[in-house]
Structures are given as structure tokens and as C-alpha cells.
Amino acid sequence: MQRKSEKPIKITEVCLRDGSHVVAHQFTEEQVRDVAQALDAAGMHYIEVSHGDGLGGSTIQYGRSRVNEMKLIETAVSVCKQATVAVLLIPGIGTVNELKQAQELGAGLVRVATHVTEADVSAQHIHLARELGMEALGFLMMAHSAPVDKLVEQAKLMESYGAQAVYVTDSAGALLPHEVRERIAALRQSLDIEIGFHAHNNLSLAMANTLAAIEEGATRIDGSMRCLGAGAGNTQTEVLVAVLERLGIDVGIDLYQMMDVAEEIVGPILPGSQEIKKGSLVMGYAGVYSSFLLHAERAGKRFGIDPRDILIELGRRKAVGGQEDMIIDVAAELAKRQGKGA
């Protein structure tokens, strides 16, 4: 592989954040401790620990956490000797108060996440994170849903606020490899900071898209052990490490240890296999936020309609992360049209 960046690749493991969606936000302290400790020993660079919807996400709307996320962050920090514990914050869900608390507990990096057209709401949180001495990165979600020039415009805003990297975030798993290349290349030509990429595997393209991003110059890369993430999961971290080694790219992470962590520690946490089923496939096809799947399945059962119809309609309406409450409204409207009810 001919990379268009000389900077080292840094991997963020997201199974303890994105994977929270899969387990309905029911991670225990013991699970977080065991996973974080093993990943740290294997050489993982960053380990993200938050509610699936970021700091402050434990609500009725997004799903209550079994254990307060601050306790989970504290637990991860207590066992990490090398890895930096990271958090996700979506302005409007998380606040500066949660950010300060996470930093006081030892979180060293925050990804401030906004819809791809709403980077302006990230300014306060990026500024504060830098003031607190944290690494502060921008995370542009649903990156498939905006033209490339809009993506560049919004990434430059995050850079101007002090973001040290900006991610192209394929929240729906909808991007195709050539679309990833186009976006990463455009950011590389327009920004002076690092570029990141976060994939979802709803169209079975997470690995291909991640490699395309790396080739075009992305250096901040996300993965999830055993694909433990929303929808069909993310780029499978232990597989990514193996592929990068095959390509001659050493990221300083022990492959055998990663295999063991995936098989022996993360695997038993999964409630089911992270394969591409009809729900996750239709999310990638329709371009719908990956965390909507469980909500759509519940709404479909409640109203007696096919969850795929709900997801397709959400895609048509261009629903974005944070609009989970829209799912019930859409389901009710579709049920009415189809002559069904709750």
C-alpha cells in the first residue's frame, strides 16, 4: 500500500462505546475493566468508553446505562498503563459538565461529534477540551449525507476551533470505497491537521473503506473487537491489525494478544453474532444512522410493521443521530397508512 501520509496510524478501539448500543448500554464494571486491561496490555492506543450516544446519553430517549458511565470511565482509567481512555461527546446530549468530570477522572481524549452540517455547535466543547489539556478531535457524523465541499467546509470549522484531527464518520455504513477516497483526499488537501475515519460494516465495506482511507492519508482509525458496534459493527480491530501487518504497516499492537482478547473476553459479551442481517443491511442501503436499528425493531414490533419500512422512511427523511424520538412517530404514521395499530 502506498500511503499518502508519513504520520503513524493511531487506532481507537470503540467496542466499549459503539458496542454499548449492541448490549443496550448494559456494560458492567467488570466487563469494562477486563476489556480495557487486556487491550492496554496488547498495545492499543486509545480505548473509547462512553454511553453509545456519548457522554450524558443515559436517558429514557437513548437508553439507560446499567452503570453510570463516569464509573466505567474511572474503571478503564484505573487499569490502563499505556492506552489513553477516550470519550465521545455529542453537543446537546453531553455538556461541558460531563466533559470536565470525564477529564477529572482521567480521560485524555474527546471526540466532539456533530452531524456533518452542524460543526458550529462543537466550538465550545473543543475549546474547553484543549483548555483542560485533552486531545480534542472533531467527528463529523453521517458523512455520506453531505456533498464533499460541505464536508470540507465543516471540517475547516472544527480545525479553526482547535480540533487536532477531524474524522469522516460513516455512521450509516453507507459509503462506497471511491466515496471514502474522495472525502479523505479532499480533507487532506484542505486541512493542516490529521484526518480520521470511522466505518460501519452495514454493506460489508468497513475494512475496504478503512484501507481506502488509510491509503488516502487518514491516520486516526477506529475499530471494534469482534465488530462489537452498532448495526453490523465497525471495522474489526483484530482483523485490521492483521491486515496492516500483511501490508507492512506496524502499529505497535500485538496481533496474538488481540486475537485472544477478541475470542476470550469480548466474544462472550456479544448477545449474538455481528453478521450483516436484513436490518443492518437496509441501514447501509438507506443511509440511516446505525444506532437506529434496535429502536426501529422495537417500534416495528409495537406497531406490527416491518422495521425495514421504518428505516427506509427515516432515510428518506434524512433523520440524523439524536432524532431517535422520530422513530416512534414514523412507525405510527406507517402503521396508520397500512391500517395497523399499536
**How does DSSP assign 147-167, residue by residue?**
-HHHHHHHHHHHHHHT-SEEE
Within the chain, strands assigned E span 10-13, 46-48, 84-89, 109-115, 135-141, 165-169, 194-198, 220-223
Give 39-89 pLDDT, tens digit per residue: 999 999 999 999 999 999 999 888 899 999 999 999 999 999 999 999 999
- pLDDT band for position 269 (50/70/90)? very high
Consecutive H or E run containing 183: helix 177-190
256 Cβ partners below 8 Å, 6+ apart?
none
Neighbours of 336 (CB within 10 A): 11
- To the query of whether residue 178 is one of the catalytic residues in this protein, the response is no
Beta strand pairing status for 109-115 and 194-198? unpaired
Q: Is the pLDDT of residue 342 over 60?
A: no
Q: Which of 14-28, 294-308, 310-324 has the lowest mean pLDDT?
A: 310-324
- pLDDT (average), residues 117-129: 98
The reply, when asked if residue 3 is annotated as ligand binding, is: no
- pLDDT (average), residues 162-181: 97
Task: Decide if 143 contacts 169 (C-beta within 8 A).
Answer: yes
The reply, when asked if residue 18 is annotated as ligand binding, is: yes
- pLDDT band for position 341 (50/70/90)? low
The more confidently predicted of residues 294 and 327 is 327
- pLDDT band for position 292 (50/70/90)? confident
The reply, when asked if residue 198 is annotated as ligand binding, is: yes
The reply, when asked if residue 64 is annotated as ligand binding, is: no
The reply, when asked if residue 273 is annotated as ligand binding, is: no
Alpha-carbon distance values, 6 to 188, 194, 214 (Å)? 12, 11, 11
Give the pLDDT of residue 102. Answer: 98
Neighbours of 73 (CB within 10 A): 28
Give the pLDDT of residue 161. Answer: 98
- In a 3-state reduction of DSSP, which class is residue 36? helix
Give the pLDDT of residue 48. Answer: 98
- pLDDT band for position 324 (50/70/90)? confident
Give the pLDDT of residue 87. Answer: 98
- pLDDT (average), residues 95-106: 98
Give 138-169 pLDDT, tens digit per residue: 999 999 999 999 999 999 999 999 999 999 99
The reply, when asked if residue 250 is annotated as ligand binding, is: no
Give 197-241 pLDDT, tens digit per residue: 999 999 999 999 999 999 999 999 999 999 999 999 999 999 999
What domains sit in the chain, N to C, each tagged with a CATH number? 10-268 (3.20.20.70), 291-337 (1.10.8.60)
Catalytic residue (one of 21, 51, 125, 144): 21
